[in-house]
């Protein structure tokens, strides 16, 4: 499911924010590491385990990275699905490609 979501987002122009990976590795490795962030895995699991139209909710103990934030915004728009994330800083309510934090977190 995660590969399907990543593929669909790539088709609409999503480019991973490689600055979110502070490691000294090549760009392909950074893309791979970003594609496996916990938020993305949780969203993919939410699509598998929850019925259509049911919001996907998650709690994490770290701040959400910029790439995962833009990923969740696109998922909410493309799949018309509400995504709710509580990180250690705030709640993010993603609906129709927008976030309740107005991209300021």
Task: Encode pLDDT of 18-27 as tens digits.
Answer: 777 777 777 7
Instruction: Give the span between the Cα atoms of 74 and 41, in whole angstroms.
Output: 15
**14 within some domain:** yes
Q: Could you list the residue range(s) of the whole structural domain that residue 6 is in?
A: 2-99
pLDDT of residue 73: 94
**71 within some domain:** yes
The tally of domains found in the chain comes to 1
List per-block mean pLDDT (blocks of 10 residues) for the chain, which spans 105 residues.
Answer: 91 82 76 84 90 90 89 94 92 95 82
pLDDT of residue 15: 84
The whole-model pTM stands at: 0.86
pLDDT of residue 105: 65
CA atoms within 13 A on the CB side of 35: 17
């Amino acid at each position: 499911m995660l590969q399907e979501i990543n593929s669909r987002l790539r088709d609409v122009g999503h480019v991973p924010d490689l600055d979110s990976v502070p490691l000294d590795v090549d760009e392909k490795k950074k893309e791979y590491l970003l594609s496996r962030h916990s938020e993305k895995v949780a969203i993919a699991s939410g699509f598998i385990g929850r019925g259509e139209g049911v919001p996907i909710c998650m709690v994490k103990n770290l701040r959400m990275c910029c790439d995962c934030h833009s990923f969740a915004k696109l998922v909410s728009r493309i799949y018309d699905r509400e995504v709710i994330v509580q990180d250690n800083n705030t709640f993010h309510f993603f609906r129709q490609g927008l976030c309740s934090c107005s991209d300021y977190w």
